[in-house]
Amino acid sequence: MMKAIVAAATISLCVTGCESAPDERQPDRGASVGADATASASPKPPSLDPPDTENDASTLTNALSPEAAKGEQGARAVLAVWTQALENRNFARAWEQFHNPPAARDAYVAWWQRYRTLDVTVEDARVEGAAGSLYYAAPTTITGTTTSGEPFRLEGQVILRRVNDVPGATAAQLRWHIDSAVLKEA
């Protein structure tokens, strides 16, 4: 299991893929993280940590054999970076583990800044395939306190995806990335 620290109020979170139709592996989406989701955010804590280049997903994945990087170990490497980034309040680094437009990063970062402490637990999952893609849906729990000192608990799944070696796929599509983080108050 992986650990991280975050403070939060009870919320629903859908980081990416909210506009796409859910399939049988993906739960219903929560509220989208964007300008509307950050309107009621608490004051910002101190500045974000600098990127941790020694532990980014590409470094961890490159240390694996090509076959291992395509499987559960590759997915877990991305989750390890995301978890560590949240624990360290490096929300920009956490955002980099998603396959999203850079323009949405600021809303994602602002959304997480409402939390003072985060404790992230990610359970192991299995790689499953569907429609030319591989998915890794990891049960996730995040607890901690908000910037106002209130305790919180979020539960749900972090779903990673990569294209399953489909001809014509780009290098970015062939890498594991977080497709969505559906976390709801518990």
Task: Locate the domains of the chain by residue range.
Answer: 12-43+51-185
pLDDT given for residue 56 in this prediction = 57
User: Any idea what the Cα angle at residue 164 is, between residues 160 and 169, rounded to 5°?
Assistant: 100
75 contacts 176 by C-beta, under 8 angstroms: yes
pLDDT for residue 98: 94
- For domain 12-43+51-185, which architecture applies? Roll (3.10)
pLDDT of residue 144: 96
Residue 175 half-sphere exposure toward CB, CA atoms < 13 A: 19
Structure-model confidence comparison of residues 110 and 20, the more confident one: 110
Give the rounded percent of residues in the chain with a pLDDT score beyond 90. Answer: 57
The larger pLDDT score, comparing residue 37 to residue 58, is at 58
The pLDDT mean for the chain works out to 75
Tell me: pLDDT of 89 over 80.
yes
Token couple for 10: 């009870």
pLDDT recorded at residue 71: 94
List C-alpha distances in Å: 14 to 11, 65, 108, 158.
10, 32, 10, 10
pLDDT digit string (tens) for 116-126? 999 999 999 99
Q: What is the pLDDT of residue 59?
A: 66
Question: Residues 141-153: pLDDT tens digits?
Answer: 999 999 999 999 9
Answer yes or no: is pLDDT of 22 > 90: no
Predicted TM-score of the model (pTM): 0.70
Q: What is the pLDDT of residue 61?
A: 61
